[in-house]
């Protein structure tokens, strides 16, 4: 999403700010200590502990930069007051192939299907936006399969 805005709920923004604080504080210090200890082992040219710690440091710094970029470009959406229609921030319960499934529609930066958070940019999330309870909605999944759902409930 380079050069464009990220859509976040207030909860998503707070979660990223907490992760950033952890990474810039405790995690950075922990990795720095691992590097210091690994240097004590001697020659760093063939020191796997040092290499592992430096790789972890690069991943931490990369994630810090990514979170800072997301937060600087983010558009924060309010939790919808109108529960008649599906918006970013809405929690929706669907009849999905005879099974009830509940998702919260969030921005792409905070989506996590394992936590029931789907992106407003995903095929299902995009298809649901603007719909009401009782609406039958269709979306095309990533594999090209047609997904049919019925909106059962919309909550804040």
Give pLDDT tens digits for 103-156: 999 998 899 989 999 999 999 999 999 999 999 999 998 888 999 999 999 997
- pTM of the predicted structure, to 2 decimals: 0.75
Q: What confidence tier does 1 reach under pLDDT thresholds 50, 70, 90? A: very low
Looking at residue 4, the DSSP 8-state letter turns out to be: S
Q: What is the pLDDT of residue 80?
A: 64
Domains of the chain: 6-77 (1.10.287.180), 91-155 (3.10.50.30)
Are 122 and 101 in contact, with CB atoms under 8 Å apart? no
For residue 17 the two structure tokens come to 């700010």
Instruction: For strands 146-155 and 6-9, give the pairing.
Output: unpaired
Dump pLDDT digits (tens) for 29-84.
999 999 999 988 878 888 889 999 999 999 999 999 999 999 999 999 877 667 78
DSSP-based helix, strand, coil % in the chain, nearest 5: 45, 25, 30
């Amino acid at each position: 999403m380079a050069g464009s805005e990220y859509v976040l709920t207030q909860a998503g923004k707070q979660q990223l700010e907490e992760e950033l604080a952890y990474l810039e504080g405790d995690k950075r210090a922990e990795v720095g200590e691992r590097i210091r200890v690994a240097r004590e082992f001697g020659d760093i040219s063939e020191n796997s502990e040092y290499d592992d710690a430096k790789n972890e440091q690069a991943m931490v710094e990369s994630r810090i930069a990514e979170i800072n970029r997301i937060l600087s470009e983010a558009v924060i959406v309010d939790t919808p007051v109108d529960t008649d229609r599906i918006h970013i921030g809405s929690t929706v319960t669907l009849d999905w192939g005879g099974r009830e499934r509940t998702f919260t529609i969030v921005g792409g930066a905070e989506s996590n299907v394992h936590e029931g958070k789907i992106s407003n940019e995903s095929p299902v999330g995009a298809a649901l936006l603007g719909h009401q309870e009782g609406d039958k909605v269709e979306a095309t999944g990533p594999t090209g399969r047609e997904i049919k759902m019925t909106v059962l409930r919309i909550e804040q």
